């Protein structure tokens, strides 16, 4: 398994390619920049099979429709799926043209998504949106806009909730052992580092 990372769009979303030995790629938070995604696919000789979205916000999901048209299957939580079809994706609010789409698959807390022979475990982590999730595979957590290096995602957007965010981060901290954490924006981190230094580490 290989991991590629790029930064896409004005809001600098971290887009991740999780790639199996055959070059089949699962894109986590495809971001807004379709062109850059396709260039990356070509450069590394990959085949994008699926797009997994941590939540519906446009900066994470803006290119999903085009990738779906190219044949990739789009996955999102059952709770955030309607936001790909309404203003819950915040595209309108930020003056971005959003291409709406119906996800191919939806999932819920505790589900395991198997794509390209790889298993992604879904942990529901509401707070940033009510349908936000983290994806866990091996020792990696893709934490979307839930857990960041040193802080957490905003909770003041529609369907955000700060009490839920606190419980979600506690749930992540309660996992056994250390993990590499790949957030939706900014620097990578580890779960052990965040257990010590995250602003949420103070809450009990
Ligand atoms: Zn967001």
Rounded CA separation 28/8 (Å) = 12
CA–centroid distance, 80 to ligand 1, in Å, is 11
CA–centroid distance, 13 to ligand 1, in Å, is 9
CA–centroid distance, 22 to ligand 1, in Å, is 31
Which segments of 146-190 does DSSP mark as H helices, in order?
A: 162-173
CB 191 within 8 A of CB 169: no
SS (H, E, C) the chain: CEEEEEEECCCCEEEEEEECCCCEEEEECCCCCHHHHHHHHHHCCCEEEEEECCCCCHHHHCCHHHHHHCCCEEEEECCCHHHHCCHHHCCCCCCCCCCCCCCCEEECCCCEEEECCEEEEEEECCCCCCCCEEEEECCEEEEECCECCCCECCCCCCCCCHHHHHHHHHHHHCCCCCCEEEECECCCEEHHHHHHHCHHHHCC
CB 187 within 8 A of CB 149: yes
CA–centroid distance, 61 to ligand 1, in Å, is 10
CA–centroid distance, 57 to ligand 1, in Å, is 5
CATH architecture, range 2-202:
4-Layer Sandwich (3.60)
CA–centroid distance, 128 to ligand 1, in Å, is 7
CB 152 within 8 A of CB 199: yes
CA–centroid distance, 135 to ligand 1, in Å, is 15
CA–centroid distance, 119 to ligand 1, in Å, is 24
CA–centroid distance, 59 to ligand 1, in Å, is 7
CA–centroid distance, 21 to ligand 1, in Å, is 31
pLDDT digit of tens for each residue in the chain (204 aa)?
999 999 988 789 999 999 999 999 999 999 999 999 999 999 999 999 999 999 999 999 999 999 999 999 999 999 999 999 999 999 999 999 999 999 999 999 999 999 999 999 999 999 999 999 999 999 999 999 999 999 999 999 999 999 999 999 999 999 999 999 999 999 999 999 999 999 998 776
CA–centroid distance, 139 to ligand 1, in Å, is 23
Which residues are bridge partners to 73 per DSSP? 50
Looking at residue 204, its pLDDT comes to: 64
- Which two structure tokens, joined as six digits, stand for 191? 């779960």
CB 134 within 8 A of CB 143: yes
């Amino acid at each position: 398994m290989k991991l590629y990372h790029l930064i896409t769009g004005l809001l600098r979303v971290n887009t991740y390619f999780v790639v199996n030995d055959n070059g089949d790629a699962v894109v986590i938070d495809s971001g807004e920049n379709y062109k850059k995604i396709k260039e990356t696919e070509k450069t590394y000789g990959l085949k994008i099979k699926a797009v997994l979205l941590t939540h519906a916000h446009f900066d994470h999901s803006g290119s999903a429709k085009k990738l779906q048209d190219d044949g990739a299957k789009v996955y999102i939580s059952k709770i955030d799926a309607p936001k790909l079809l309404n203003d819950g994706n915040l595209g309108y609010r930020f003056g971005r043209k959003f291409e709406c789409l119906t996800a191919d698959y939806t999932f819920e807390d505790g589900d395991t998504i198997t794509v390209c022979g790889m298993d992604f475990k879904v942990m529901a982590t509401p707070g940033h949106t009510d349908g936000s999730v983290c994806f866990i595979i091996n020792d990696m957590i893709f934490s979307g806009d839930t857990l960041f290096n040193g802080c957490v995602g905003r909770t003041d957007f529609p369907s955000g909730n700060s009490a839920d965010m606190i419980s979600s981060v506690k749930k992540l901290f309660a996992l056994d052992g250390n993990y590499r954490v790949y957030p939706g924006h900014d620097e990578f981190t580890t779960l052990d580092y965040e257990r010590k230094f995250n602003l949420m580490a103070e809450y009990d």
